[in-house]
């Protein structure tokens, strides 16, 4: 909810969720679909691509393919993408800017380092790069998001997808797998 409200989305716009097969990505796909957006996603495995399609995406692309950006550009055409939800900005941000529509927005959810971009790529399209973190939400905003998500789960349009499960004593292994793994499918859970 926070991601999409930060992006000021409108029904009918397009959204690309990079890393859509992880827990946050799948939730973003589900919520974006309910908002009336055209939902595109990326995932790096066949299993991940399948689960992204099952959770609200209209189309999914394999971000491990060398030419996947060209495939996305061909799919969306001249207009470009209105909103990109970016889980790994240090890898994708420069490419994201080339995919945006006029007035498009990149919402940075995650980054594991630095990246060099050309600011000119934001100028011609008058695009924006917006960083978000749930922890910067006010108490009231947090309560609003929680209430909306709870309602979504109660009526069935939001269905959390559970991925890997680890007992608490394997928290170090879980951390290693999320950092160095080949890609997440669903939300990783620690069992108490």
The model carries a pTM of 0.82
Contact between 130 and 154 (Cβ < 8 Å) = no
Q: Give the Cα separation of 146 and 66 in Å (integer).
A: 38
- Nearest to 83, CA basis, from 145, 130, 23: 130
- Largest interatomic CA distance in the chain: 51
Tokens of 30: 């589900």
Are the C-beta atoms of 31 and 4 separated by less than 8 Å? yes
Read off the pLDDT band of 158 (50, 70, 90).
low
For residue 133, the SS3 value is coil
Task: Using pLDDT thresholds of 50, 70 and 90, give the confidence band for residue 146.
Answer: low
144 or 44, which is more confident: 44
Strand partners, 162: 187
Domain range summary for the chain, segments of one domain joined by + = 1-136
Residues whose CB falls within 8 Å of the CB of residue 120, separated by 6 or more in sequence, listed in order: none
Q: What topology is assigned to 1-136 in CATH?
A: Rossmann fold (3.40.50)
For the cut 80, the answer to whether the pLDDT of residue 135 exceeds it is no
């Amino acid at each position: 909810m926070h991601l999409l409200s930060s992006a000021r989305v409108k029904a009918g716009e397009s959204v690309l969720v990079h890393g859509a097969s992880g827990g946050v990505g799948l939730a973003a796909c589900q919520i974006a679909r309910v908002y009336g957006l055209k939902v595109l996603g990326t995932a790096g495995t066949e299993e991940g691509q399948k689960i992204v399609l099952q959770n609200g995406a209209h189309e999914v692309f394999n971000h491990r393919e060398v030419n996947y950006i060209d495939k996305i550009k061909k799919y969306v055409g001249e207009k470009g993408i209105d909103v990109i939800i970016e889980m790994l900005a240090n890898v994708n941000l420069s490419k994201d800017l080339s995919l945006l529509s006029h007035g498009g927005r990149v919402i940075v959810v995650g980054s594991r380092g630095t990246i060099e971009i050309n600011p000119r790529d934001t100028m011609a399209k008058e695009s924006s790069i917006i960083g978000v973190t749930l922890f910067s939400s006010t108490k009231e905003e947090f309560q609003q998001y929680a209430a909306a998500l709870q309602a979504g789960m109660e009526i069935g349009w939001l269905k959390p997808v559970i991925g890997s499960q680890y007992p608490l004593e394997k928290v170090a292994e879980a951390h290693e797998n999320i950092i160095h793994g080949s890609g997440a499918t669903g939300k990783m859970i620690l069992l108490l």
